[in-house]
Structure 1
Amino acid sequence: MAHRRASRALRTLQSPRAVSNVVLGVGIVTLLGVLAPDLARRTDLVENMVPDVFPAAATTGSLAIGVILLVLARSLRRGKHRAWLIATVLVAVDTVFQVVRALSLVEALLCALLTALLISARRNFAARPDPRSRLRLLAVVLLGPVVATGVGYGWLAIATRGQLADTTGSERLLQALLGLAGIPGPIDFVSDIAAARSAVGLAVLGAALLLVALLVAVQPADGPHHLTDDEESRVRGLLAKWGWVDSLSYFATRGDRSVIFSPCGQAAMSYRVVGSTSLSAGDPVGNPSAWPGAIGAWLDEARSYGWTPANLGSSERGATALCKAGLNVLELGDEAIVHLSEFSLEGRSMRGVRQAVSRTRRAGVTADCVRVKDLAAETLELVRERADAWREGEVERGFSMALGRFGDPADGDALLVLARDGDGDLVGLLHFVPWGDDALSLDLMRRSRDSENGVIELMVATLCQWAPDLGISKISLNFAVFRSVFAHGERLGAGPYVRAWRAVLLWASRFAQIESLYRANAKYHPEWAPRFIAYEGPSDIPTVATAALRAEAFLALPTWLRLPGRKAPEIEPDAPAAGHEVTRPAPGRSPAVRR
């Protein structure tokens, strides 16, 4: 029994998470040891036994290793083999540095034990390196010299022996910066030995920086890539047969997603790698009987790279398949589906919608439906310009339930509902993508801020009236996050937990307009179809949530920080993952829901 407990404890200690924590701790101890106040005294003892430059090189080397270990801890947590290899070599070298620089026997023993732990845990670090990243290389090139200069300055500020008494901080900073490239700096030393010690120490820092940059630069270029023409053709082939299964299937043709097929080729997973998360969206595309193969291929790839797999917006059927594959699922909200055979403006419950439509028509606003392929080029360009002008903010949002493009010839079967005022000027639009042969899924919903109250209701009602001629039986409208909380929390007899959760969401709605989105959809009396988020474990929730917000562009870099050539699509609808936004209306006007 004791042996089994010891074996279990060892396996736990050898796990990537535990090793990562130990490496992080050793990195901190290494940095603190170098900055210890009695460093100079211990260095004096070592210098009596070895050449003067050895302790300087070992000191700056330990500083560099400490910083690199802090950076590697995150990759080690993901089981990266290259991170394990670099950490093992660096910790072994630091074991020698700890002795050479200042007889740091405790730190040396700690590094030796960590080296043994890393070697024993080798089998747990098999994840491939991430594909080459311009952003990562740019960060190393731009931030690396800043960090290395800071480390060098700290060392020169602590190890002042050999510098003239009137040496200033700015001189030490410039000395550290130039010393990384082996260039003499402005500091005057009392002896050639002291100057050589400084030069060697800073050169070690520069070499460490160059090594890190080279390792990032030589990362492999293979791995997930944006959808190719051949892959898109295969996906569209699956959509032609199985596109009716899920209302979000068509969004798998987004150009910024990757796709991986099941071994039989009858199903595929559509996803994007965001940071260290492989984030898929919606159900797998294709034959449901082949979904397990596509999900398995996606999970195998994610784990081979050490990525965190997650899914955003799966249906109940897709969530069941993901759950059987080993993921946890959590209900995220509900999708509003309107069955057009049951839709009518008559009745007391539709009074609000009916009044809005009547008021808009009396104001001279009309609406009509047209396939994208039947639009004239100049009209298509006008719609594109207006949709862009009606967007709030500079950042285009959307990933899981948005197409991310508009007017592409490949999307000719997409349907537009256009609203025009009495002068024939465009004041609102709905853009739907195909959902099988007889249904539509909302991609984009926008209107002019100056448009008449009720434009959205008029466009929805018009589509419902035209549905028989278009061969459409149902439409998928917006996604309402945490819809059930609002629905249950306002009922008589709702429990304290539901009421408290509803109160939190009402407060959050002041910023994200969560409740107003639910209300905007509920007035059409739709069928509410639950949508889920899938993840591996509770500890992954913060990572997955951050990745989802980044994918949906709720977390985005400022424009001036984005890489050249990387821009948002021309029209990318707002993100449904956190609730579709509602544009703030002019006084006295109804909000326009944007998907």
Structure 2
Amino acid sequence: MSVSAPRRGDVAQERDESAAEGWFQRNRVLVNLVAMLFVLVVVGIAISRLTEEVRYDEIVEAWTGTSWWTLGLAALLTLASFLALTFYDFGALAYIGHRLPFPAVAVTAFCAYAVGNTAGFGPLSGGAIRYRAYSRMGLAPEEIAKVIAFVTLAFGLGLAGVGALALLFIADQVAPLIRVEAPLLRLIGFAILALLVGLPFAGRIGGESRFGRLSRFALRLPKPRAVGLQFVVTALDVAASAGVLYVLLPPTEIGYPAFLAVYAVAVALGVLSHVPAGLGVFETVIIAALGQRIEVDQVLGALVLYRIVYHLVPLVLATLCVSVIELQHAATTPLGRSIRSAGGRISPLLLATLSFTLGAMLIFSSVTPTPDDTLQYLASFMPLPVVEGAHFIVSLIGLLMLVVSRGLAQRLDGAWWAALVAAGAALLLSIVKAVALFEAAFLIFFVFTLFATRREFTRSASLLRQALTPSWLLAIATIVIGAIVVLFFVYRDVDYSNRLWWEFEFSSEAPRSLRATLGVTILAICVAVWSLLRPAVARPVPPTAQSLDHAVAIVEAQDSADGNLVRMGDKNILASPDGRGFIMYAKQNRSFVALFDPVGPRDCWQELIWRFIEMARTEGCRAVFYQVSPEGLSFYADAGLQAYKLGELAIVDLADFHLTGGKRANLRQSVTRGARDGLVFEYVPPEGTAAIMDELEGVSDAWLDHHNTREKGFSLGGFDRAYIASQPVALLRVEERIVAFANVLVTGTKREGSIDLMRFSPDAPKGAMDFLFIKLIEHLKAEGFETFNLGMAPLSGMSERQIAPIWNRVGRTVFEHGERFYNFRGLRAFKAKFHPSWQPRYIAVSGGINPVLALMDATFLIGGGLKGVLTK
């Protein structure tokens, strides 16, 4: 049998395909952004075509003619919808076994949905609010992640169930609206309901449900009763929210059940589109479905009012609620403190969303005409250049508030000042340009909330240094494209000519709006280009000798002994602006992986964490914090990351360490056995390691050969002469020959001691490492150290409860049954000999599939790539 060589054409084709794949990977962020912009443009064109026969004046007349009674009913239905939404959180908390105060949960849930409904990306924006608030109420990170997953899944499944149920009964009425045959609609509805009804009964009802016999993992599903309750909650929510829009529409022969099905489809498509708040997508579906039965101008007028009543008003109320909480410094009861704590954590996100909404309002108001009577009033005392200038500048301020909103979400003090100045200027100019009392009222409220929450904006980072991420650019593009669509819709009867750009009269509304739109578009393009093409905050570069020396000086002045791993020089260093702290990290695939919490004073952690996340995102990568402590979880939560448990760190309190008592009989036996075998302990300071370096290297090489392994990296040190010589070494001798050693990690504060490398000769006496640990702990205790860090036991301490998150369940299964791959249980048992206290350690990363990918990248960093992991 012969094997033919690949043809030249095939090789060239493979090379081209590889190059194309590589180009896509390098530019995937830009490609995704362009794709979403294309969707927005298509939606804009669709809306324009669906509204070809509609005029702006007709829409204004339609929604201004809505009675106050109708608006009041819509407000009541909005209240009912949000009240139902809060029960998602109560159901999720009950599911994980927590009962929290009703006011605190209600405030958190209301604010989460107010932001999620308005800003879009509900699981992210609303989830971030829940994470920040519930973490202050005592929930563990994995429990909060389960709450977020529960409410997201419950809403999605409930929405599908409500829509499917409606289709079974009213398919004949819905079919003409969406141009699909009624039998097919009923079949789709029945299939969805069958799937939803069967899901809770999979496996053992209400217990652990196994998906197939081939799977060893179990996922606990809610009991049918709980699923039924959540369906009722969703039905009430969707019915009430659909009722808001239905009562705002004029009377029609379309029944409420048929409209409910159309509404559910429109909401679902808006969510799936990933366009912020489903803007444009939701409206397109509603217009396409109802435009044949109701006048399109009346549908558009109702949609505008719907956005105000169901989105803007709840957002304002949520912001007002948090502002009042922030102003109540006298809240001293436990309940008051919990509510105030929750309010403080979520206020930046609320203000960011409100800033974005007000910015959009200013831009849209700049492309819509001012009422004639208002223009006549302004002409009587206001010079035309002032009105023209105010109109143009307000549109640019609107875009500025969109950009500033990201800084508010990141708690930047510069963003707070920029928002205050922008809102103040917009307040004055909105009166000058159009006596816009409605806009002025919202801007005054915004300024009030800024003052009420001033203390939450403590980061001193530069606002100009922040690069907008693709999701923020998409949100801004949504507003700008929407403004362009509105401009062409409002002035569709105005014939375009070059003269329009140079017409300056009080009655020339089209030229004024055209100039404002051009200014906003040009400025938005500049912002986008700046964000996409500007250099990263700090690109990964190998550490210089000077930066390493500075990092070592920081390590010496703080308590964490693990910070000494920076001495290996194999990790990049991101220093804080004031030079008092740093993050050590490495890049693997699409992950920027930071090792441990920031090293340095705690007051510089927040800024370092934000800078690291911004650097990673600017490079189109995910930010990962590996092996972080509970003390830093609030900072990671504030930055929008979620924490997933990795294992537990063993800490020995040296003040309580002794060898007396029955519990420590095995330790005494280890000491006795070691002495009988001739083991002699020696603690060698850094200056004494040069004389024994060759012998230490021989022990290390023998250990590597005996275990058929290679040096690790990142979170573990390797045998590097400079690294070993930088810290003390604890060793064991037998007849003057070194048989085991460990390099000791210490800092100048003597708060904590630890070890990194543990190497011993194949012929070392059995139990030598136990003897070494005991003698080292006794030595450090005598030297005045407070604690001894035994290192982390991976995957230990994972919850065994049935309601534990799937991450914990999988981790627990691997811990129990993964001995053939790694000695998880043995490592935990070894550390337990010394009776330590166990402290949880986490990996902090954004949600979705990112935790799994991040953990894989961290594993590759430690093992030296895929080959290193597979070959030990």
What TM-score range do you get, normalising by the shorter chain? 0.5 to 0.7
CA shift, 1:330, in A, is 0.9
Does the CA contact (< 8 Å) of 2:624 and 2:854 recur in 1?
yes
Residue of 689, 711, 715 corresponding to 1:396: 711
Instruction: Provide the rounded CA distance (Å) in 2 between the counterparts of 1:64 and 1:459.
Output: 55
Instruction: Provide the rounded CA distance (Å) in 1 between the counterparts of 2:787 and 2:830.
Output: 18
The corresponding residue for 2:860 is 550
The corresponding residue for 1:512 is 822
Read off the aligned partner of 2:739 and give its amino acid letter: V
Distance 1:70 1:520, change over 3 A: same
Q: 3-state DSSP class of the match of 1:373?
A: helix
Aligned pair 1:529/2:845, yes or no? no
Instruction: Provide the rounded CA distance (Å) in 2 between the counterparts of 1:484 and 1:346.
Output: 28
Read off the aligned partner of 1:75 and give its amino acid letter: R
Does the CA contact (< 8 Å) of 2:561 and 2:745 recur in 1?
no
CA shift, 1:61, in A, is 11
The corresponding residue for 1:470 is 783
Instruction: Provide the rounded CA distance (Å) in 2 between the counterparts of 1:456 and 1:477.
Output: 13
Read off the aligned partner of 1:278 and give its amino acid letter: F
Q: 3-state DSSP class of the match of 1:510?
A: coil
Does the CA contact (< 8 Å) of 2:699 and 2:759 recur in 1?
no
Q: Which has the larger radius of gyration?
A: 2
Does the CA contact (< 8 Å) of 1:431 and 1:445 recur in 2?
yes
Distance 1:471 1:225, change over 3 A: same
Instruction: Provide the rounded CA distance (Å) in 2 between the counterparts of 1:80 and 1:265.
Output: 37
Q: 3-state DSSP class of the match of 1:312?
A: strand
Instruction: Provide the rounded CA distance (Å) in 2 between the counterparts of 1:417 and 1:62.
Output: 58
Q: 3-state DSSP class of the match of 1:306?
A: coil
The corresponding residue for 1:362 is 676
Aligned pair 1:429/2:741, yes or no? yes
Percent identity, aligned pairs only, is 22
List per-residue Cα deviations over 1:211-245 (Å, max 9, x = no partner). Answer: xxxxxxxx99x93111111211221232233x21x
Does the CA contact (< 8 Å) of 2:796 and 2:815 recur in 1?
no
Residue of 545, 552, 569 corresponding to 1:255: 569
CA shift, 1:80, in A, is 7.5
Read off the aligned partner of 2:838 and give its amino acid letter: W
Distance 1:266 1:80, change over 3 A: farther
Q: 3-state DSSP class of the match of 1:318?
A: helix
List per-residue Cα deviations over 1:509-557 (Å, max 9, x = no partner). Answer: 2220110000000010012122110111222123212211111016443
RMSD: 3.7
Instruction: Provide the rounded CA distance (Å) in 2 between the counterparts of 1:370 and 1:411.
Output: 10
CA shift, 1:406, in A, is 4.0
Distance 1:231 1:447, change over 3 A: same
Aligned pair 1:75/2:390, yes or no? no
CA shift, 1:409, in A, is 7.5
Read off the aligned partner of 2:856 and give its amino acid letter: T
The corresponding residue for 1:276 is 590
Does the CA contact (< 8 Å) of 1:309 and 1:535 recur in 2?
yes
Instruction: Provide the rounded CA distance (Å) in 1 between the counterparts of 2:670 and 2:724.
Output: 35
| Greater RCO, CA 8 A, separation 6+ | 1
Residue of 550, 565, 574 corresponding to 1:234: 550
Instruction: Provide the rounded CA distance (Å) in 2 between the counterparts of 1:351 and 1:514.
Output: 24
Distance 1:61 1:351, change over 3 A: closer
Instruction: Provide the rounded CA distance (Å) in 1 between the counterparts of 2:549 and 2:680.
Output: 37
Does the CA contact (< 8 Å) of 2:629 and 2:841 recur in 1?
yes
Does the CA contact (< 8 Å) of 1:224 and 1:258 recur in 2?
yes
The corresponding residue for 1:461 is 774
Distance 1:427 1:250, change over 3 A: same
Distance 1:61 1:374, change over 3 A: closer
Q: 3-state DSSP class of the match of 1:396?
A: coil
Does the CA contact (< 8 Å) of 2:654 and 2:777 recur in 1?
yes
Q: What TM-score comes out, normalization by structure 1 length?
A: 0.55
Read off the aligned partner of 1:74 and give its amino acid letter: Q
CA shift, 1:281, in A, is 0.4
Distance 1:406 1:338, change over 3 A: farther
List per-residue Cα deviations over 1:20-46 (Å, max 9, x = no partner). Answer: xxxxxxxxxxxxxxxxxxxxxxxxxxx
Residue of 326, 338, 356 corresponding to 2:640: 326
Instruction: Provide the rounded CA distance (Å) in 1 between the counterparts of 2:14 and 2:737.
Output: 66
Q: What TM-score comes out, normalization by structure 2 length?
A: 0.38
List per-residue Cα deviations over 1:380-416 (Å, max 9, x = no partner). Answer: 221122123212334211312x33454428954x222
Return 5+ residue gaps in structure 1 as ranges: 1-56, 89-122, 128-218, 559-574, 582-595
Read off the aligned partner of 2:666 and give its amino acid letter: G
Distance 1:547 1:80, change over 3 A: farther
CA shift, 1:475, in A, is 1.5
Residue of 307, 321, 344 corresponding to 2:621: 307
Read off the aligned partner of 1:356 and give its amino acid letter: S
Distance 1:466 1:80, change over 3 A: farther
Return 5+ residue gaps in structure 2 as ranges: 1-8, 39-467, 473-534
Pairs aligned (count): 363
CA shift, 1:341, in A, is 1.8
Does the CA contact (< 8 Å) of 2:644 and 2:851 recur in 1?
no
Residue of 789, 792, 797 corresponding to 1:484: 797
Does the CA contact (< 8 Å) of 1:335 and 1:477 recur in 2?
yes
Distance 1:228 1:500, change over 3 A: closer
CA shift, 1:436, in A, is 4.3
List per-residue Cα deviations over 1:273-327 (Å, max 9, x = no partner). Answer: 1122111101111121111111111111111110111011111123332222111
CA shift, 1:462, in A, is 1.2
List per-residue Cα deviations over 1:137-184 (Å, max 9, x = no partner). Answer: xxxxxxxxxxxxxxxxxxxxxxxxxxxxxxxxxxxxxxxxxxxxxxxx
More helix by share: 2
Does the CA contact (< 8 Å) of 2:681 and 2:730 recur in 1?
yes
